[in-house]
A and B are shown apart, each in its own frame.
Chain A
Amino acid sequence: MKTKELRPINPTPQGVGISAEYINSIIDRIEDLVQVAESQKPIAGEGINIAYTVAGAFISLK
């Protein structure tokens, strides 16, 4: 992943101001996660079937 782990913010009695920079780091992290997720798709090679189900990808031989 290109981004680093996000650190949680700490609450204060006055509330917390969240900077645009921090929100953007969350957005970058999510987009990074999306890229990783999209790249995880198993691709069927020769002689292989892949059934994509809600539960996951089920691999079988043709």
Chain B
Amino acid sequence: MIYPRLDKVRNGQRMSVELVNRLIKRTEYAADLLQKYRILNGIKTYKGTIISLGAISPGGATDDFGFGFVTPNEIYTFPPFTAEPGELLGPGLNISNATSGRLVISGGAWEHGVFAPDSGFVRSYSPTGTEVNLPIPFGAFFVGWISCGYGPTFPFTGGTIQWLTD
């Protein structure tokens, strides 16, 4: 919500609750703007956010595995799925842009993988729904995916994924 520009005070003016509240509301207005305009999918530095073509999510496109790119605060629903024996990746999402916040996963048999140049490849399986905290130390180099089902071992019963930003 927009709050009006602050007027200057004069000598002898009483420090009123109204004045303090106007200071607070105008400050909160600025804080809201800074939060709203914060660029999510870039490389964060002290002086700003660096945007490169590689950091921009191709809207509506998929990655090399055919995965769509996760966007923040959207609930993705996946139907039941059973992968073929030896099949590594069922339906899923590319989470390479999710460099902060957390992924909240419900349902069963999720597989999540992380690839980072400094840390190698990490993959884990969850037989039940879980909350995955993204490895923020991987920072800008973080790429990864979430997929459901892993061969016949973990038939997927359906579930949801949501990337919540903090």
Residues of chain B with a CB closer than 8 A to A51's CB? 71
* Residues 1-44 of A contacting B (Cβ, < 8 Å): 18-20, 23-24, 26-27, 30-31, 33-34, 36-38, 40-42
Given contacts A42-B39, A53-B73, contact A60 B57 (CB under 8 A): yes
Assess whether B122 is interfacial by the CB under 8 Å rule.
no
A58 touches B57 (CB 8 A): yes
Question: Do most interface residues of chain A lie in helix, strand or loop, or is the interface mixed?
Answer: mixed
Q: Place the interface of chain B in its size category.
A: 35 or more
With an 8 Å Cβ cutoff, the count of chain A residues facing the other chain is 31
Which of chain A's residues has its CB closest to B39's CB? A57
Residues of chain B with a CB closer than 8 A to A58's CB? 40-41, 57, 71-72
Assess whether B165 is interfacial by the CB under 8 Å rule.
yes
Q: Mark B74-113, 1 if CB is under 8 A from A, else 0.
A: 0000000000000000000000000001000000000000
Assess whether B30 is interfacial by the CB under 8 Å rule.
yes
Question: Do most interface residues of chain B lie in helix, strand or loop, or is the interface mixed?
Answer: loop
CB < 8 Å A-B pair total:
106
Minimum C-beta distance from A27 to chain B (A): 5
Docked complex Cα distance between A34 and B34 (Å): 9
Given contacts A20-B13, A23-B15, A58-B72, contact A42 B59 (CB under 8 A): no
A56 touches B38 (CB 8 A): yes
Contact partner of B23 (CB less than 8 A), chosen from A30, A42, A59, is A30
Docked complex Cα distance between A34 and B37 (Å): 13
Minimum C-beta distance from A53 to chain B (A): 6
Docked complex Cα distance between A22 and B115 (Å): 53
A27 touches B38 (CB 8 A): no
A59 touches B38 (CB 8 A): no
Residues of chain A with a CB closer than 8 A to B69's CB? 60
Chain A residues within CB distance 8 Å of chain B: 18-20, 23-24, 26-27, 30-31, 33-34, 36-38, 40-42, 48-49, 51-62
